Structure 1
């Protein structure tokens, strides 16, 4: 894969993980994407942080062999941190932006919140067993279990699988012989989500999918008293569950409803590796499935809205 293809696939994955509606902004319109190119060839990176921070970058033609360059001088603590994080997370030959974004956002959050105090408006987040393997580096686990998977089932068979609970099931998406199907359902507790996942494993056709990537997010209570319970599972597709869970968080899934959503994306590997682009497909299938089911409203979901 050429460096340009690496960047194209990375941009696609980033846009799926961080939809424009989840990005904070100081203007009346959200940015077109988390990372987009200007007419003069520079790039703007809009960090999903509060307060909003935008970095001006150049990305050399040799990327990811060589790192992106931040054009903003380190005149503030936030910009100094950004320059430091690029040096820390960059590994020649590996794409960088997911690790850069997540590491920098966490550093900025830590520096803006003193350890001895916390805002009363902050929600308490409880992670049941969150997937911490969020590296964007492709560890070449794609299709690892493909030899154990049966031939891709027909669309009709896919839609008939797991009739209960009342899943909303997306139409199959086929990309280079791999088939992706999303399904989502409303849940009230972590135990209920785990029981529904057990139903997936009990279904012979779905159990034999190459991967069943899942994530759930449950909001108990509202406002300042809201508690969030969340978890995710790669099912062998390295880092896919973590990315899916991160997307649910950024979209603010279930926050307005005071309940929870479980989403599963099943993939039948077709023999052709998709590289980082597969993460974008997985998240897009999941997002569209929740939108079709009415379990997420892009006009209301997403907790990082512009502050007036």
Structure 2
């Protein structure tokens, strides 16, 4: 049975609020399809962009949402016009892709390690950005080699088993937590979490996971980690699922999870899930983090901690 516009809108709103949380607010009655509904969308970053999106009753089947920029700082008229001009429905829900595109262009995240020349994120505990007054020679390495060599510092899922550390793996193996599986339309998601104190631990964790043939055959094994010491080291690997790595990194930041790596495995069931897949990725990761006790006390106070690692 074909879904109605209001059902599609409701599903999209749920997914958006799951992914972006308080940055997406519904104005109007969720349960009244006849009411005028709109979304207030906040784009974090220096431009302080506030978007208002009106959802006509004919969206998404016939018409696109109508958006206005209610607040922005420092955007040119051309940039504002481009943001609004990119909102097109084409008979399908479109808000996730549109919001994500705006965020990628105009939101300032905490130092993206993939785009930086050094390919590292090294912030102090307060995440203050480097002000240029320190020792420029403190990090001396070849950026190109660092970016391209699978055996260098930056752990990557597909190269994790190229270099093995048996002693480290033996130490980490009993510390890995496997969350419960989430299944939707034949796709299955499962989160895995492990305490780490260095990038070598992250690589060993990945190598151990990939020893499981079922995990190794999955369509995606998406990674994020956050290590807190004298400075913060964090990175992610989306493993072919665009946007998933940054979402997992954002989850670690929001939950203040420290010294942990999390991987979400997805086994594809042949049916495209659209934005719903990010809801499941987030839920699977959070479950593994909760099971392992990696969330800050304020985040996990209402969740029961397990007695030990969940075994596969």
Distance of aligned partners of 1:8 and 1:251 in 2 relative to their CA distance in 1, 3 Å threshold: farther
User: Under a length normalisation based on structure 2, what TM-score does the superposition of the two structures give?
Assistant: 0.60
Instruction: Give the superposition deviation at 1:272.
Output: 2.3
> 1:262 and 2:288 equivalent?
no
Aligned-residue offset at 1:244: 1.9
For 1:96, the equivalent position in structure 2 comes to 98
Deviation at 1:54, TM superposition (A): 4.5
Out of 232, 244, 247, which is 2:236 matched to?
232
How much does 1:197 deviate? 0.7
Q: How far does residue 182 in structure 1 lie from its aligned partner after superposition?
A: 0.9
Count of aligned residue pairs for this structure pair: 234
State the match for 1:132 in structure 2. none
**TM-score (norm: length of structure 1):** 0.61
How far apart are residue 86 of structure 1 and its match?
Answer: 1.6
Q: Give the alignment's Cα RMSD to 1 decimal.
A: 3.9
Q: Is the 8 A contact 1:17 1:246 kept in 2?
A: no
Q: Which structure has the higher relative contact order (CA within 8 Å, separation 6+)?
A: 1
For residues 252-282 of structure 1, give each alpha carbon's deviation from its aligned partner in whole angstroms, at most 9, with x where no partner exists. Answer: 332xxxxx21111112222222122111111
| Structure 2 unaligned spans of 5+ | 30-35, 112-123, 131-138, 140-145, 148-171, 301-312
**1:246 and 2:258 are equivalent in the alignment:** no
1:72 aligns with 2:74: no
Distance 1:271 1:175 in 2: 11
Instruction: Give the corresponding residue for 1:171.
Output: 180
Query: 1:104/1:88 Cα in 2 relative to 1: closer, same or farther (>3 Å)?
Result: farther
The 3-state SS of whatever aligns with 1:194 is helix
Q: Deviations over 1:44-66 (max 9, x none)?
A: 22344579765433234445963
1:59 corresponds in structure 2 to: 55
Correspondence for 1:123: 128
Partner of 2:210: 201
* CA deviation after TM superposition for structure 1 residue 91, in Å: 5.6
The structure having more radius of gyration, on CA atoms, is: 2
Partner of 1:28: none
CA distance in 1 between counterparts of 2:178 and 2:192 reads 4
Equivalent residue number for residue 83 of structure 2: 86
Name structure 1 gaps, 5 residues minimum.
21-32, 110-119, 130-162, 222-226, 255-259, 302-308
1:198–1:10: structure 2 CA closer, same or farther, 3 Å change rule?
farther
1:90, CA displacement in angstroms? Answer: 4.1
Matched, 1:282 2:286: no
Q: Is the 8 A contact 1:169 1:289 kept in 2?
A: yes
The answer to whether 1:44 aligns with 2:51 is no
